[in-house]
A and B are shown apart, each in its own frame.
Chain A
Amino acid sequence: QKEVEQDPGPLSVPEGAIVSLNCTYSNSAFQYFMWYRQYSRKGPELLMYTYSSGNKEDGRFTAQVDKSSKYISLFIRDSQPSDSATYLCAMSSAGGTSYGKLTFGQGTILTVHP
């Protein structure tokens, strides 16, 4: 079983829809939770990161972390065709020998059609 599970999709939504992307994880040592966006043949782009549990909002994007359920989410409001990309969740611990290591989900392919 992988440490981080993410539904690969693909997910197709109409423009303006609210998109919900999710990941589950098994390693209770994870304290930092990140969301990256990756366009085809490009490097991953950091959207936002959250420490421990709670919500964080940045423009149309909201990240939620529920450590009790080992479940994280990214919501995209008023989705646009330019949001079409692969979304990757990533996690890391807050210390120890794995401090510098990011563990990624497989990525969810999102298409927003006009």
Chain B
Amino acid sequence: DSGVTQTPKHLITATGQRVTLRCSPRSGDLSVYWYQQSLDQGLQFLIQYYNGEERAKGNILERFSAQQFPDLHSELNLSSLELGDSALYFCASSKGLAAYEQYFGPGTRLTVT
């Protein structure tokens, strides 16, 4: 158990809908990262927040947004969902700004029908 928690574990929704994925980092970690994992693209970095501020951005779609709250938990919002958004979404956390030594949560499996 990495200490990173994610909810829900599974999510099934229809195209055009909006969903929110939630992540709680390990105790003491200030950075939260979001990743998308699909069979064809592999594990892709989406965005990093550090102590409530956005710090690094990957190939995150404009339909996706994230935030980190004062208690350091984070939410990833996915809107106008398309079939191609079906994937595993992982949250990771680390103590500082640097990307090494990230610890991953168990993931949320999103299925868009």
List the interface of chain A (C-beta within 8 A of B).
32, 34, 36, 41-46, 49, 51, 88, 90, 92, 94, 97-107
Contact assessment for A100 and B56 in the assembled complex, using a CB-CB cutoff below 8 Å = yes
Contact assessment for A107 and B42 in the assembled complex, using a CB-CB cutoff below 8 Å = yes
Contact assessment for A99 and B42 in the assembled complex, using a CB-CB cutoff below 8 Å = no
Contact assessment for A97 and B90 in the assembled complex, using a CB-CB cutoff below 8 Å = no
Residue of B31, B98, B100, B105 touching A43 (CB-CB under 8 A)? B105
Question: Which secondary structure characterizes the binding site on chain B?
Answer: strand
Most buried by A among B44, B50, B100, B105: B100
Contact assessment for A99 and B56 in the assembled complex, using a CB-CB cutoff below 8 Å = yes
Residues of the A chain whose Cβ atoms lie less than 8 Å from the Cβ of B101: 34, 46, 49
Shortest Cβ distance from residue A84 to the other chain B in the assembled complex, whole angstroms: 19
Residue of A42, A44, A101 touching B99 (CB-CB under 8 A)? A101
Shortest Cβ distance from residue A28 to the other chain B in the assembled complex, whole angstroms: 17
Q: Once bound together, how far apart are the Cα atoms of A92 and B56, in whole Å?
A: 12
Contact assessment for B2 and A92 in the assembled complex, using a CB-CB cutoff below 8 Å = no
CB pairs A–B below 8 angstroms (20 shown): A32-B98, A32-B100, A41-B109, A42-B106, A43-B2, A43-B4, A43-B104, A43-B105, A44-B104, A45-B2, A45-B104, A46-B102, A88-B43, A99-B99, A100-B33, A100-B56, A101-B48, A101-B99, A106-B42, A107-B43
Q: Once bound together, how far apart are the Cα atoms of A103 and B100, in whole Å?
A: 11
Shortest Cβ distance from residue B101 to the other chain A in the assembled complex, whole angstroms: 6
Shortest Cβ distance from residue A24 to the other chain B in the assembled complex, whole angstroms: 15
Q: Once bound together, how far apart are the Cα atoms of A101 and B48, in whole Å?
A: 8
Contact assessment for A105 and B42 in the assembled complex, using a CB-CB cutoff below 8 Å = yes
Q: Which 9 A-B residue pairings sit nearest by Cβ, starting from the closest?
A: A100-B56, A92-B99, A43-B104, A100-B48, A32-B100, A104-B43, A49-B100, A44-B104, A106-B42
